């Protein structure tokens, strides 16, 4: 029996749909805040006062306002779908508010945008009826903390594992609890502080190659004329090369040339997204892999990637030097010829594992690692181009901290504003926008803020969507949640009338380079939370910070077209439909920059 299509859609949220980005001025300008007028239309005011969380609903702009809303009128297929839900599963999840979704909503827009609309209408915990299976949508940090941390081992990844297993096997993301516990115990020590410190050199070296490529392209234009580039594609190549060197000790060389590996990686992701939209799993038929062209291509892509990884594993094992974990962590990583994670895993005493499991681990890091970083950098640049003053503030920090030099581990710690830009981009465009869990046994979910006081009983087998997007844009836990405000993470915040939520307090995680779920008490989940939190979070955040800093150190960036022309699609992450096309110019001094801004505003009629 195949999984419910909506579950598949959430795992890789409908890659073949797109939405024009919700570009309200308040998303990008902190001197505007949205209000709802008496005629129901949005207006903009210059007030910037605190809004009581119980009154915020009218003060928040739905981020899908520029796209179609979920249907209020249903067709025959939609009504039949909801009838099946009510008959077969509607009563098993208890007395939650119910949002009835149209099956056609799955294919008209990214699902996470519809979940946001229903969140504003039905509250932070509701039941969504799609076809013969109902499921629970959670947009509350109190409930999220219960599922991810307090009762984490009562849940597994559910349908996500079904989709990813053909690609990642038993890697950390799709693995069952038993395999996950075993592999996490082995892999986690590899991301130790000396390793991460040494990785900053790889991050910097790869970013410098990208910058050099841009500078050579600029040599071919005259004066202050810009070059035009798809920065999303460039960031993807950069992230792939970093993963190759840092995880495998292998140079994909994708910054300078098109890599067959990256083609294969995107091919496998595309197939996973394709499978998320089909009711009938035809790919499971015995002859499908040979008869269906896209299935043949999928198998070819897997062969390319697996062949590369098998070769890397073989080479690493041929030069194995078995050592205890403690001694491995004390190696001189700054001067090691091979300080990769693969080397660490192969050399670890007592961590003997078959090549298939090791390959699954590496495949997971290859795909999840580079996709996330490319998306974070893409949206960070997109947001900065709408906020020229914040971009100048970022560049001023870069000038003060590193000048014309290279980024180091020490300077990374001083690039506070750049780090905050990265996490604010992750707040507004979380990667991924949804987390998926399935209950392994009966559980009592807390009611959360403004939910049912006695909580919600759920039976085994309940599929749950934790909407990270909704958590990050909740009008109840964030002031001006749609605004791009990197500075918000510096301020302690507690709402007294929200029982069970400890608020936002940087002091809860002393020494942390980046805000996390501990500091925010699960209202901010850039990499999940609890035992199954992403193991490479610091790696991804650090490489994103260095890459962004080095880009802004050398170049001024603006969008090629209007912001409204940038469309989003979702797969494993939120990314653009046609790339992030930008104009890059060499950095200019403040006087030249002021003249350029005046000319730009004059042309726009401001």
Known binding-site residues for heme equal 534
CA 44 to CA 46: how far, in whole Å?
Answer: 7
Terminal CA-to-CA distance of the chain, rounded, Å? 59
Handedness of CA 41, 31, 590, 399 (dihedral sign): negative
- Which tokens in the block code for residue 133? 């299976």
CA 4 to CA 261: how far, in whole Å?
Answer: 32
Residue 347 CB partners (closer than 8 Å, separation 6+): 320, 321, 322, 323, 328
Residues that constitute the known binding site: 534
Burial class of residue 228 (count of CB atoms within 10 Å of its CB; 0-12, 13-18, 19+): exposed
Helix or strand (DSSP H, E) at 81? helix 76-88
CA 29 to CA 51: how far, in whole Å?
Answer: 18
Q: Is the peptide bond before 432 cis (omega within 30 degrees of 0)?
A: yes
Alpha carbon 77 to its chain's center = 33
DSSP state, residue 3: P
- The label of the residue with tokens 């490479």 reads 536
Q: Are 220 and 350 in contact (CB under 8 A)?
A: no
- The label of the residue with tokens 């970083």 reads 373
Closest C-alpha to 171, from 354, 436, 361: 361
Q: Are 30 and 485 in contact (CB under 8 A)?
A: yes
Within 409-552, strands assigned E span 434-439, 443-445, 456-458, 463-467
Bridge partners of residue 465, in order along the sequence: 137, 436
Strands 42-45 and 463-467: unpaired
């Amino acid at each position: 029996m195949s999984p419910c299509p909506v579950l598949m859609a959430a795992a890789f949220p409908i890659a073949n749909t797109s939405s024009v980005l919700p570009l309200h001025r308040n998303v990008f300008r902190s001197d505007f805040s949205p209000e709802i007028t008496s005629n129901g239309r949005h207006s903009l005011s210059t007030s910037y006062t605190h809004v009581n969380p119980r009154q915020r609903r009218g003060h928040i702009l739905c981020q899908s306002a520029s796209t179609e809303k979920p249907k209020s009128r249903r067709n025959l297929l939609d009504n039949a779908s909801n009838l099946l839900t009510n008959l077969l599963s509607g009563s098993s999840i208890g007395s939650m508010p119910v949002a009835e979704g149209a099956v056609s909503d799955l294919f008209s827009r990214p699902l996470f945008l519809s979940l946001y609309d229903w969140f504003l209408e039905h509250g932070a915990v509701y039941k969504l009826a799609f076809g013969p299976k109902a499921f629970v949508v959670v947009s509350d940090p109190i409930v999220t903390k219960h599922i991810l941390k307090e009762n984490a081992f009562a849940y597994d990844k559910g349908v996500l594992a079904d989709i990813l297993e053909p690609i990642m096997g038993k890697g950390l993301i799709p693995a069952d609890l038993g395999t996950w516990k075993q592999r996490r115990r082995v892999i986690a020590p590899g991301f130790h502080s000396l390793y991460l410190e040494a990785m900053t050199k790889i991050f910097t070296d790869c970013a410098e190659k990208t910058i050099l490529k841009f500078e050579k392209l600029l040599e071919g234009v005259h004066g202050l004329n810009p070059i035009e580039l798809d920065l999303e594609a460039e960031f993807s190549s950069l992230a792939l090369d970093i993963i190759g060197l840092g995880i495998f000790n292998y140079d994909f060389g994708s910054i300078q040339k098109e890599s067959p590996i990256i083609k294969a990686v995107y091919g496998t992701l595309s197939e996973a997204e394709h499978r998320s939209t089909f009711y009938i799993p035809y790919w499971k038929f015995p002859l499908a892999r040979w008869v269906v062209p896209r299935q043949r291509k999928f198998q070819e892509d897997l062969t390319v990637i697996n062949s590369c990884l098998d070769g890397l594993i073989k080479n690493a094992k041929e030069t194995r030097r078995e050592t205890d974990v403690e001694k491995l962590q004390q190696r001189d990583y700054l001067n090691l010829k091979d300080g990769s994670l693969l080397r660490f895993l192969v050399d670890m005493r007592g961590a003997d594992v078959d090549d298939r499991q090791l390959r699954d681990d590496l495949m997971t890091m290859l795909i999840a690692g580079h996709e996330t970083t490319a998306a974070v950098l893409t949206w960070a640049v997109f947001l900065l181009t709408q906020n020229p003053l914040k971009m100048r503030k970022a560049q001023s920090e870069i000038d003060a901290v590193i000048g014309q030099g290279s980024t180091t581990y020490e300077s990374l710690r001083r690039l506070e504003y750049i780090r905050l830009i990265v996490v604010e981009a992750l707040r507004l465009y979380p990667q991924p926008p949804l987390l998926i869990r399935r209950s392994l046994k009966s559980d009592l979910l807390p009611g959360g803020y403004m939910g049912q006081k006695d909580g919600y009983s759920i039976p085994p087998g309940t599929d749950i969507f934790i909407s990270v997007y909704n958590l990050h844009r909740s009008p109840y836990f964030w002031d001006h949640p749609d605004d791009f405000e990197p500075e918000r993470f510096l301020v302690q915040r507690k709402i007294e009338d929200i029982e069970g939520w400890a608020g936002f307090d940087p002091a809860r995680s002393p020494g942390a380079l980046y805000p996390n779920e501990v500091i925010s008490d699960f209202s901010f989940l850039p990499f999940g939370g609890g035992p199954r939190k992403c193991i490479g979070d610091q790696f991804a955040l650090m490489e994103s910070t260095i890459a962004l800093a080095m880009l802004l150190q050398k170049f001024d960036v603006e969008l090629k077209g209007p912001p409204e022309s940038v469309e989003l699609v979702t797969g494993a992450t939120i990314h653009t439909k046609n790339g992030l096309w930008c104009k890059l110019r060499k950095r200019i001094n403040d006087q030249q920059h002021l003249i350029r801004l005046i000319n730009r505003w004059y042309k726009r009629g401001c």
